[in-house]
Every structure is written in structure tokens, then in C-alpha cells.
A and B are shown apart, each in its own frame.
Chain A
């Protein structure tokens, strides 16, 4: 493992306790809501904040008590934090120079890195004249030019507009793939995490709540928060074969068979909406009342209160118009058993 850490930080009324192991070449995303402690964890790894207990080992060296400058880490900050008084080139050369590389050599290295991230022609520019995307690329080059064993990225795409984000994200993916060290990415955007990370660690309230590959996490969320992030309905219950007793009332019939405490997840698009109780299949049918309706992509996402359980439903705009759906409308919902993913909790 390139990185092996246990990060414990106590604050009044809040604490963080996170174990983290990242292999060489692996990209781990810390995904979680604001205030979950992801950034704190990243700052501890970077040596910018002390930990109250635990340890940080990078490339076999215990760096728990070492200051930032003596750890082999590179950080890409959310708002890039390029030094405003230095050119893009000098920003990137800063790391090598700080580590004792002669200025001329450092500048040559910096130029190579700027070319590699695709902003070579802006070498002489001051950060304030760069666009958001260019600045973030320079920031990445600056972090990588110091040849860190551990690369830390704090919401690297959050400050960018949607279009820039798309291109920077795919470039970042390419650079992360060719980066030999360990990388930890902090984000609250599930899509960034899915695209960029090999493994996702979901952090809520200072603790890990789920970890797995992007596919695992997106298919089998284990908390309401993750389910919402990946756009799934998540119910918890106790399975007996093809039958699940949902916590809080109601029951589900599933195609897969399971036993014991389980999660049941299904896509909003898999839910059908009827104005009256549907005649055909009697299973997985619930009455409810629409609470909200909002456009979602080219569909409309409706939230239905089905006997106390909040269920998300995606409808076509035409269907919404036809059924006259709005907050307060009574509806009937149904989900096919084969659309429900059941997995032990």
C-alpha cells in the first residue's frame, strides 16, 4: 500500500475517524456531503492539519508528525490557489525549486508538465489571466511536477462551469491513469467519483459508510444519501426468499431470493404511475400522494409519499401532462419484481 492511514480528529460536537488504504496507481474518491469530514481527512493527509489519534504512512514512511513540506504529497486545491504573483511556469517550477532543483532545470521540468496538461502556450501568463479550466490544469501540473508519492485533489472540478468541467474531467482521468503514485480525490459529486476513481469511499458524519468500486456503489447503495446521489430508491427490510418486509411497513416481491436484513434498490425510471389501482399484476403496488414534481433531464422526477416511504419516480413529460400530476395528486405506483436489486445489509 502506498498510503495507509487512520485519521482521527475531534472537534466540539463532531469527530472524524477514517481508515484509508490506497495502493500505487489507485485512485480513491472520498465521496460525501458537505461537512462529512472529507476535506479534513485530506488536510490531515497533506500535513496541513494535525490528527488527534491515528497515523499516516506514505510509501512506507510514517509521516504522522512531519510537516507538509517534508511529505511527498501534491495537492490540487478546489480554487487552484496558484500563486498570483508568479507566472504559470514559475508556479509549476515552484515545487522542484523548493526541493532544491536548480532554477533552470526546474523551469524545464515545469515547461514539460505544462505541455503535458495542454497549457504550454500559457507558460508566461499570470494566474488571473487564465480561465478556470486552464488554471486547474496548471494547478495539476504544479502538484505533479513535484513528483509526489501521493496526489490529493480537493474538489478539483467544483469551481468549473459545466462545459469546462467535462473536458477537464476527461483530461484529469487520463492524467490520473498515468500517475504512478496513490491518489485521493475529495468530491461531493458522484459523477466525478464514478468517472475518476477506482474505488469510492463514502463518508458521512465523519465515518466511512460504504466502500467499493464505482459500479458496486452505484448499483448497491447502502445509505439514503448514496442512493440519492446515484439516483436510486433505497428501501431497507427483512427478506424471506422472494419476499421482503419493508421497515416502516409494506412489502416487496423480488425476482432475486435473499434471507435476512437486506437493502432493496430500484431506479426511479422503473416505477410506473397510475391514476387508479392498476388491474393486472397485484404485486408491488402502493397508493401514494405526489409531494414534488421537478424536471429531471428530459423527464420529470416526481417524489411520492407512499404510506410514509418516499419514492422517486421518473415520468415522461407527456405522462405528467396526461395524468395532470402535481403536488397533492393521488397516484398508484408499481414496480416490477425484476427491477428490484436485493442485497444484504
Chain B
């Protein structure tokens, strides 16, 4: 059969963007990429081996990957149900709740760290009874780092998943219910797979945000190599200390590792979906 319509090669086809979009788009890209390129160019590659071997870099990097991943798991476990709740059209006070969820986005992370003290610190609302009962307090522990990162990263996950849930066709859930599926089965076998791309996008944002987290972590969890000093803290310390060149190198390393991890995950998902 002959196609009824054939795309014409002339004129504004989909391949060519108009200048009023292309120019700012290229500017935006340059704005994002050039500072990174600057870091890469300014990194003292020649001294790289000794600089990286010295500063407990491996320890900080390992801790960063571990805590960011743990924070992402925490965010997934708590954030998906919250997103589900927020996506319900009949939820009373929904817009107010949504605004609350976005608070950590607006809050300077350092203030977030202080806020965490007031609740989960050793003298905090929940932290004090916890400390009196168990002798455990979050500040200065790796768990504290995870908590600080999760606090800052959670909105990214919630908003991404909520958006996906609202865009999803909820009638699939009805179809599942008519087939005898319990609410849990509907959620697990229909709702969640339907919004899987949104969850994946949210988890990536969440992980990336957690990996780069600095302010809340250093305020709430402190800074000690091996237990709470993540890469961003190590970068800052190097920047403030004797050797800012090491800071540049550490930044580039963190950048490289995160890009590699995200690239790997992306391939995995693309293959699976």
C-alpha cells in the first residue's frame, strides 16, 4: 500500500530546530558543560596518583557511594507511598502537603541539618528518648549521613513518582481490581510497574542529589574520615586546606564515578524496558 502522507524533505521538518530555540538551548548546554570542562582541564593530572593516594580518597568515595545508595533505598521505601498518597485526587489538603514536601528543596541544606538536630539530634524531640534508651544518636554516625542525605533528596523522588502516578492511567488499577487483585497486588503488579520509569528517574535524581549532598551532612552528621566524611566533604576540606588542586581532582573523580554509575544503570534499564 502506498502511504497516504509522505514527510516532505523541505521546510521546517522535525530535524531542524528554529533559531529562537536552538540559540538558548546551546547557551544552556554551554552553561552546564563549560564549568565541568574547566574542572577537568584544571585538574592536576600529573600529580593525580599521589594526590588521590594520600587523602583517604578511596574511603570517602566508598562512603559516598554507600550512603547515597542507602539514602536512595530509604527514599524509595518512604517516598513511593508518600507520592502515592499525594497523587490521590481525593486527598484533603493535598496542595498544602505538596508544598510541605518541597520544603527541603527550598531550605538551605545547612538549615536542613540544623532542623534535623531539633528532631533527631541527641537533644532532639525523638533523638533524646532514643539516646536515653539505646545510647545511640545519629550525629557523627554514618546513619546520620544517610539521614541527612535522605532528607535533602526525598523531595526529588516524591515529586518524580507523584508526577508519574498522576500521568498514569488509573483505570488499569480498576481493571486489576475486577480481576480479583487485592490492593497490595494491584499496587505491586500494576501501579508500580506502570510508573517504573518515573520511579527510576526519581531514584536517579535522588541518588545524584544524595551523592552531592554537603550542607545538611556536615551540619548534622559532622565530618570524620571513614564514618561521616563523604566526597563532597573531602572536597571542601581539601579546598579549605593546603591543596585546592586536590579539591579539583576529587571533584572530577566524584563526577566521573557518578556519570559512570548512572550510565551503567541507564544501559541496564534500557535493556530491560
Contact call A94/B179, Cβ cutoff below 8 A: yes
User: Cβ of A142: which chain B residues have Cβ within 8 Å of it?
Assistant: 179
Alpha-carbon distance A74/B181, docked complex (angstroms): 12
Report B164-181 residues with CB < 8 Å from chain A CB: 169, 171-172, 174-181
Say if the beta carbon of A166 comes within 8 Å of chain B.
Answer: no
Contact call B175/A69, Cβ cutoff below 8 A: no
Query: B167-199 interface mask toward A, CB cutoff 8 Å, 1 = contact, 0 = none?
Result: 001011011111111110100011001101000
Contact call B179/A81, Cβ cutoff below 8 A: no
Alpha-carbon distance A289/B154, docked complex (angstroms): 72
Contact A94:B178 (CB < 8 A) given known A81-B171, A83-B190, A85-B194? no
Contact call B174/A68, Cβ cutoff below 8 A: yes
Number of interface residues of A (CB under 8 A): 24
Say if the beta carbon of A44 comes within 8 Å of chain B.
Answer: no
Contact size class for B?
10 to 19
Contact A146:B175 (CB < 8 A) given known A85-B193, A98-B185? no
> Which among B169, B175, B185, B189 is the interface contact of A75 at CB below 8 angstroms?
B175
Most chain-B CB neighbours within 10 Å: which of A46, A86, A94? A94
A74 nearest CB across to chain B (Å) = 7
Report A29-86 residues with CB < 8 Å from chain B CB: 46-48, 67-71, 73-75, 77, 81, 83-86
Contact A48:B176 (CB < 8 A) given known A84-B194, A94-B189, A98-B181? no
> Which among B172, B177, B189, B196 is the interface contact of A69 at CB below 8 angstroms?
B177
Say if the beta carbon of A95 comes within 8 Å of chain B.
Answer: yes
Least CB separation from B171: chain A residue: A81
* Number of cross-chain contacts by CB at 8 Å: 64
Contact call B178/A46, Cβ cutoff below 8 A: yes
User: Cβ of A84: which chain B residues have Cβ within 8 Å of it?
Assistant: 172, 194
> Which among A47, A77, A85, A94 is the interface contact of B181 at CB below 8 angstroms?
A94
> Which among B171, B176, B183 is the interface contact of A94 at CB below 8 angstroms?
B176
Least CB separation from B181: chain A residue: A98
> Which among A83, A86, A95 is the interface contact of B180 at CB below 8 angstroms?
A95
Additional pairs, 9, CB under 8 Å, beyond known A68-B174, A81-B169: A68-B178, A81-B172, A83-B172, A83-B194, A85-B194, A86-B193, A94-B179, A98-B181, A143-B178
Can you give 27 A-B contacts (C-beta < 8 A)? A46-B174, A46-B178, A47-B177, A47-B178, A67-B177, A69-B177, A69-B182, A69-B183, A73-B178, A74-B178, A75-B178, A77-B175, A81-B169, A81-B171, A81-B172, A81-B174, A81-B175, A83-B175, A85-B194, A94-B176, A94-B179, A95-B180, A98-B179, A98-B180, A98-B185, A142-B179, A143-B178
